[in-house]
Amino acid sequence: MARPRKTNGIGIGVEDTQICVVMVGLPARGKSLIAQKAQRYLKWLSIDAMVFNVGNYRRQDSPQPGADFFDNSNEKGERMRRAAAEAAVTDMLKWFKAGGVVGILDATNSTKERRRWVKERCDAQGVETLFVESKCDDEALVMSNILEVKTTSPDYKGLDPETAAQDFRERIHNYEKVYQTIDEDESHLTYLKIMDVGKQVIINRIQDYLQSRVVYYLMNLHIKPRSIWLSRHGESEFNLEGKIGGDAPLSARGEMYAKKLPDLVRESVGDDRPLTVWTSTLRRTIATARFLPESYNQLQWKALDELDSGVCDCLTYQEISELYPEDFAARDNDKYNYRYRGGESYRDVVIRLEPIIMELERSENILIVTHQAVLRCIYAYFMKKSQADSPWMAVPLHTLIKLTPRAYGTQEERYDAKIPAVSTWRGKGSVAKHEDPTAATDAIGKGGDLPQ
């Protein structure tokens, strides 16, 4: 009996399609990073996705094993690793039965026999399989990933870094003894091979729209270590007046922030490498970025313009509550999906930001100077914030945010310019201009801006 038709909330009907994305690759090839990125991208687009990390299941019985645990001749280790894979796949298939759409099996899946077993289990339940192999022979990148793992993996928590690195190298060597890359013997499989962090991509037997959507995203990924810098524009005249939208100039304090921003960027980057700067087409973001070094290439994106508030543009929240009381209440009730009359919703902003996310994923050294709602949506993507919470996050003015994606989450650092700015975060039901933003759900930091 067919499952009921499902939609992901943004007009993409996935019907009965369910996909198991099966990661393939040696350790230190970025599989977990790719898996985490794929999950957060799909959930950001309202497609139900879940990562099933076999290592997490294995750690329940063997939390910090030595490299010999992963030697294929170690019968006990092999038995425990197989049991962990069985548990992960069983849980994933239960999740699919409950209505999950894209399950991501994060493991080495290093042999043809193991991949055949996964496919047979999924086939028996009518779940499609998409194998994603990350293959990398770039020694510098592999070493970088080893350094990443030894400092962030639960397997090496509390261990001496050099001891951890040596053990991890030995673990990789044990996998290399039995590793089988996807080749012509598996030409019947649907797969994507990412070679040397995207220098070459091989696609085989992609079957439907949802698979194509996942593959398109994964083709744009690279797994090189990098950071993304985010900043609000400086305080604007409309911020001071409590008005939303518009194209107001910077206030005097906003000008001070624009002049201070190059120093904040230099401090956070840590060296003199040039960044590419993306701003919106509105003058408050362009003005904020104008003192950055000439070596920084600057691009203006219409997609980074602030959420369009339609008929409420240039009004205060007090005026909106008086002129459009029903709309004011409806937006508070479901801020993510509420669309201003003649304007946009947060969901609309996410859709128009998808090309920005794609460019971010294939680029390096990007600084984005943008607006409150747009920054919330981008931040929610990297930090896996929920749709219910993201529109209410308090985003500080005059603060530079540095995000560094890692295999086990995204690291966040903040750099406060220490230039005062009006706090205009608004809580549900309130029309006040100045409130304490620390009451906001999942506040990014103190300070604030008009919550478009």
Among residues 133, 148, 233, 398, the one annotated as catalytic is 233
pLDDT for the residue numbered 427 = 76
Residue 278 sits at φ, ψ, to 5 deg, of: -110, 130
- Decide the pairing of beta strands 399-406 and 228-232: antiparallel
161 exposed, middle or buried (CB, 10 Å; 0-12, 13-18, 19+)?
Answer: exposed
pLDDT band for position 216 (cuts 50, 70, 90): very high
**DSSP H or E stretch at residue 42:** helix 31-44
Q: How far apart are CA 389 and CA 376, in angstroms?
A: 10
pLDDT for the residue numbered 151 = 67
**Residues contributing to the annotated binding site:** 232-239, 284
Tell me what the mean pLDDT of segment 22-50 comes to: 93
Active site residue 306: yes
- Cα separations in angstroms, 169 against 25, 27, 166, 323, 408: 15, 9, 5, 66, 19
The 8-class DSSP code of residue 249 comes to P
List the one residue out of 227, 204, 226, 222 whose CA is nearest residue 37: 222
pLDDT for the residue numbered 303 = 98
Q: Do domains 16-218 and 228-439 have the same CATH topology?
A: yes
What is the topology classification, in CATH, of domain 16-218?
A: Rossmann fold (3.40.50)
Specify the range with the lowest mean pLDDT, choosing from 99-103, 116-120, 355-359, 439-443. 439-443
Active site residue 222: no
pLDDT band for position 142 (cuts 50, 70, 90): confident
| CB-based contact 284:236 (threshold 8 Å) | yes
Q: Is the pLDDT of residue 434 over 80?
A: no
Q: How far apart are CA 182 and CA 63, in angstroms?
A: 30
Q: What are the structure tokens assigned to 444, written together? A: 């990014």
Architecture of domain 228-439: 3-Layer(aba) Sandwich (3.40)
| CB-based contact 16:99 (threshold 8 Å) | no
Tell me what the mean pLDDT of segment 414-432 comes to: 84
Share of the chain above pLDDT 90, in %: 76
| Strand, coil or helix: 203 | strand
Domain regions of the chain by residue span:
16-218, 228-439
Among residues 48, 106, 128, 167, the one annotated as catalytic is 106
| CB-based contact 131:181 (threshold 8 Å) | no
List the one residue out of 443, 300, 318 whose CA is nearest residue 385: 443
DSSP alpha helices (H): ranges in 64-138? 75-97, 112-124
Among residues 306, 344, 361, 449, the one annotated as catalytic is 306
Q: Which of 11-25, 103-117, 151-165 has the highest mean pLDDT?
A: 103-117
List the one residue out of 8, 30, 10 whose CA is nearest residue 19: 8
Q: How far apart are CA 85 and CA 95, in angstroms?
A: 15
pLDDT band for position 442 (cuts 50, 70, 90): very low
Sign of CA dihedral 96, 102, 108, 109: positive
Average model confidence (pLDDT) across the chain:
90
- Decide the pairing of beta strands 13-15 and 6-7: antiparallel
**Residues contributing to the annotated binding site for substrate:** 232-239, 284
Residue 226 sits at φ, ψ, to 5 deg, of: -165, 170
- Cα separations in angstroms, 361 against 218, 356, 415: 9, 9, 23
Residue 74 sits at φ, ψ, to 5 deg, of: -85, 100
